[in-house]
A and B are shown apart, each in its own frame.
Chain A
Amino acid sequence: ETGVTQTPRHLVMGMTNKKSLKCEQHLGHNAMYWYKQSAKKPLELMFVYNFKEQTENNSVPSRFSPECPNSSHLFLHLHTLQPEDSALYLCASSQESTGQGNQPQHFGDGTRLSIL
């Protein structure tokens, strides 16, 4: 049990579908992250939220839309995805303070997304 729960674990969707990924952290952390992990490639940071405010958006296409209603929950809304978006999507959280991002990140086990 990592303290970060992601649902669903697996998702298969067509390119015209709309779906959402959910992440919940039970660690009392104030920062949450979305990463994309493709085979043989490094984790790619997509979005960062701190105290529910989005602080980073690493040039992610608009077909990915994040939502952070509170510091414990994070969503990634998906629509009109492309086959190259098939990957493992990981959520993480950390406790950050004084602008120093040197705290360990706690990851969920991800959602394996397949686009048909």
Chain B
Amino acid sequence: SQKIEQNSEALNIQEGKTATLTCNYTNYSPAYLQWYRQDPGRGPVFLLLIRENEKEKRKERLKVTFDTTLKQSLFHITASQPADSATYLCALGGSARQLTFGSGTQLTVLP
């Protein structure tokens, strides 16, 4: 069955450092991958989408990579700030409208 693993439930880093979150998947050949941010008591908010034929996507301080050989996506936040503290979700999708979500990584940026 399809399986998505996001590295460690929780990740703490110092302000100003680069946060790197990992999303690994098995038994899946996604056409695209999305990353979302979720704050406590709120719904997920879309951040970035990367397609299977794209290696890297950037948006301001965010960077996503997608390696279909390794079956892995990396999500980077450079110059991290306490306001970046949240749970980050990766989601995989194919030709159907269904997204399969990982359980998320809770990031805490320490001042």
Contacts and interface: CB of A to CB of B under 8 A. Distances in A.
Contacts of B97: 31, 48, 50, 55-56, 94, 96, 101
Contact of B43 (A42, A96, A107): A107
Contacts of B45: 2, 107
Given A101-B93, A102-B31, A45 B41 contact: no
B66 to A, nearest CB: 13
Nearest to B48: A104
B100 to A, nearest CB: 8
B107 to A, nearest CB: 16
Nearest to A39: B103
A99 interface: yes
Interface residues of B, number: 27
B31 to A, nearest CB: 7
Contacts, number: 64
Contacts of B9: 40
B95 A42 contact: no
A21 interface: no
Interface in A47-82: 48, 50, 55-56
B95 A101 contact: yes
Nearest to A96: B97
B16 interface: no
Most buried by A among B41, B44, B51, B96: B44
B101 A108 contact: no
Given A42-B101, A43-B101, A48-B98, A104 B46 contact: yes
A110 B102 CA distance: 18
Given A40-B9, A105-B99, A107-B44, 13 more contacts: A42-B4, A42-B89, A42-B101, A42-B103, A43-B101, A45-B99, A48-B98, A56-B97, A90-B44, A94-B97, A99-B95, A105-B34, A105-B44
